[in-house]
Chain A
Amino acid sequence: MKHQYLHWSTALVAVDFALIVFALYLVFMWVPSAQEEAGGIAQRIFYFHVPSAFAAFLSFFLVFLGSILYLWKRDWKWDRLAVSAAEIGVVFTSLVLITGPIWAKTAWLKDKTGIWWEWDPRLTTTLVMFFIYIAYLLIRNYAGERAQGARFAAVVGIVGFLDVPIVFMAIRWWRTLHPEPVLESGGLPPSMLFTLVTSFTAVLLFFILLTWARVGLRRAQEDVEELRERIGR
């Protein structure tokens, strides 16, 4: 059974590695550059910027779900999922917060160009989201008792999720410097759409594998705590 599980995970890692290489080939060698106002060649940052944002949203939804289920069922497996997803979400959000300004610097955003950052609704709420989940992880690390830390963090995981739909809707509700949602307007040419779908698939599979590995690590860390208690160390 364990061998079969290993075969599956190895196969998935190999498939995802191939997908990532293919996506990078499409991004750097195949897809045409956008017009200069959209950043020209640097617009290709978009193909990993957008899937990273999606992976971050998905992570924080898992934190929300895991937190609710932990408080309801008091089963550690939900807490394990929540804490693992929070860490992964912070990593993907940091990628979004780094790559966004690099792309912004090269593009015309409404009537501005050459700027790294603007305190507009989308960017600000994304930064707030990042700090909410940093706080979540700090609570986990510094709470004295494990169950108490899990409870406090679960409350942050539920309340903090309120910011996620605001981040998502910010470009629809307010006039922001962030580009409008091109997928919904159908404004992407087929080659760009194909590249985006490929990188989306690669990042999504990578996200699943990361979550799998991180939950496994958390389970092993809990085993260590349990063994320590039994031995009295």
Chain B
Amino acid sequence: MDKFPFLFAAYAIIWAVILGFVLSIFQRQRRVSREIDALKEALREKEAE
């Protein structure tokens, strides 16, 4: 039985899952930063009224 494909598959899955999770954190961080900027702008406008 050639066992290398099992080793390769395990590490490919490990790094795919980790990469996916790290990217999801970055994506959420970007979305939150954009939202904060928009809300701060809205707050400034509201306070200026």
Contacts and interface: CB of A to CB of B under 8 A. Distances in A.
Given A48-B14, A106-B3, A213-B25, A227 B39 contact: yes
B28 A227 contact: no
A102 interface: yes
Nearest to A216: B29
Contacts, number: 84
Nearest to B2: A41
| Prevailing SS type, chain B contact patch | helix
A41 B17 contact: no
A102 B17 contact: no
A42 B11 CA distance: 10
B5 to A, nearest CB: 9
A227 B44 CA distance: 11
Contacts of A210: 21-22, 25
Given A42-B7, A45-B10, A91-B18, A231 B46 contact: yes
Given A45-B6, A106-B3, A214 B39 contact: no
A228 B17 CA distance: 33
A106 B6 contact: yes
Contacts of A91: 17-18, 21
Contacts of A221: 28, 32
Interface string B14-36: 10011001100100110011011
Given A40-B3, A213-B25, A102 B9 contact: yes
- The number of chain A residues touching the other chain, given as a range, is 35 or more
Contacts of B42: 231, 233
Given A98-B13, A99-B10, A231 B36 contact: no
Given A42-B10, A99-B10, A106-B3, A220 B36 contact: yes
Nearest to B32: A220
Interface in A31-71: 39-42, 44-45, 48-49, 52
Nearest to A214: B25
Contacts of B3: 39-42, 106
Contacts of A103: 6, 10
